[in-house]
Each structure stands twice: as C-alpha cells, then as structure tokens.
Amino acid sequence: MEINDALLDVLVIAGQSGSGKSSLAREVCRQLNCSLASFGSFVRFEAKQRGIEPKIASLQSLGQDMITEFGPVIFTHKVLLSTDREQSGNNLVTLEGVRNGEIYSAVMTMSRRSLLVYLDVGRETRMARLRERESIDLHALLASMNHPLETGVPNLKALADLVLYDQAVDVLTARVIELLASRGLIDRG
C-alpha cells in the first residue's frame, strides 16, 4: 500500500516509556475514528519477524538499529504504512511513540500538518507502570530508562504544541481533541 504523506495530518504523541502514550493514542483514535500508527507496535512486529525476543532492551536496540538502517524518513514512512488508513476514512493519523527530534522532523516534512503532544509523567509513576507491564526486575528497568533512545525523549517537550501531565485518559483525550479542533485538524461537530 502506498500513501501520499503530503495529504496526511499527523497527531504525534510522545513521552518516555510508561507515560501512557499508547493508552492516550488508542482513546483518541477510538473517539475520532482515525488511524493509529505506533513505532512500538512496528518494532515489536519486526522483532517477531527477525526472531528477536520482545524484551524492552532488545526492542529499544532494534528500534535504534532500524533508524540507522533505514534513516529517519524511510523508517517513519514504514511505520505510517503499517496502519490501515482506508478503514478510518479520514486523513488524520495518530502516530504514537516518536522517540527523538530526527523522527519528529521526518514527520513534519512528510505530512501536510502535524501536532506534537508530549506526555510528561513522573519517573516513579512510569517505573511502576513499566514494572507491571513488562514484568522486569529493577536493574533491567533502570537500564531501559537509561537507553539512548529513552534519554533523548524529554527533548521533544520543548517542541510540543501541548504538554500534558499525568491525568485520567478521558481528561487527556479531551485536551488533545480540543487542540486538534483549535488548529483545524478536525471539526468540532
């Protein structure tokens, strides 16, 4: 499937691991009937194809390797291609899991319009979520939080159109929808 990226409006949701990006992205897509593209899902799929165990450290390394292998623009394009846009019937795609400015720059050059939402959630909350979700020990968790892909994520906060803090997903979703409407990416109707 080919897509014309220049016709896409892209809502980018970024934040460190465990910040709630996936939950927010899924809820935004559900409420707006738009497509979801996820770097994490794409990397997990590639890991399975390559016979790599889907542990957080190996997924982070594979993601970094794929950025190096393909370059930011082609990697981002591949992730956008992984979504079923025809199903939603609109040009808005929610892209979850952007990890650095290079990837966000690729999104901006490839799309008609893009907005960046950054989830800023405290370290202790993120650690608790990751330990529950990933079932990993503290040493592995701390190593994943210090991976180069992870440590650069906070730099995206300065580029964000909207910074959100840890609140209920329905509150966060309402704020995102309000931003999209105010910038003309969706109709308020």
| Alpha helical stretches, state H, 82-164 | 85-88, 101-110, 123-134, 138-145, 148-151
Work out the number of other CB atoms within 10 angstroms of the CB of residue 84.
10
Which is it for the CA torsion 18, 93, 178, 183, positive or negative?
positive
Residue 186 lies in a domain: no
Residue 189 lies in a domain: no
Residue 185 lies in a domain: no
Does the pLDDT of residue 78 top 70, yes or no?
yes
pLDDT tier for residue 86 given thresholds of 50, 70 and 90: low
pLDDT tier for residue 183 given thresholds of 50, 70 and 90: very high
Percentage of the chain modeled with pLDDT above 70? 93
Does the pLDDT of residue 92 top 60, yes or no?
yes
pLDDT tier for residue 1 given thresholds of 50, 70 and 90: very low
**Which of 24, 159, 8 lies closest to 77 in space, CA to CA?**
8
User: What is the rounded CA–CA span in Å between residue 147 and residue 109?
Assistant: 27
Residue type, 99: R
DSSP state of 6: G
Residue 169 lies in a domain: yes
Residue 184 lies in a domain: no
Residue 108 lies in a domain: yes
| Of 16-20, 173-177, 180-184, minimum mean pLDDT range | 16-20
Residue 46 lies in a domain: yes
CATH of the domain at 88: 3.40.50.300
Element (H, E) at 26: helix 21-32
Percentage of the chain modeled with pLDDT above 90? 61
* pLDDT tens column, 111-122: 999 999 999 998
Number of domains in the chain: 1
- State which residues form the domain around 89: 5-179
Residue 188 lies in a domain: no
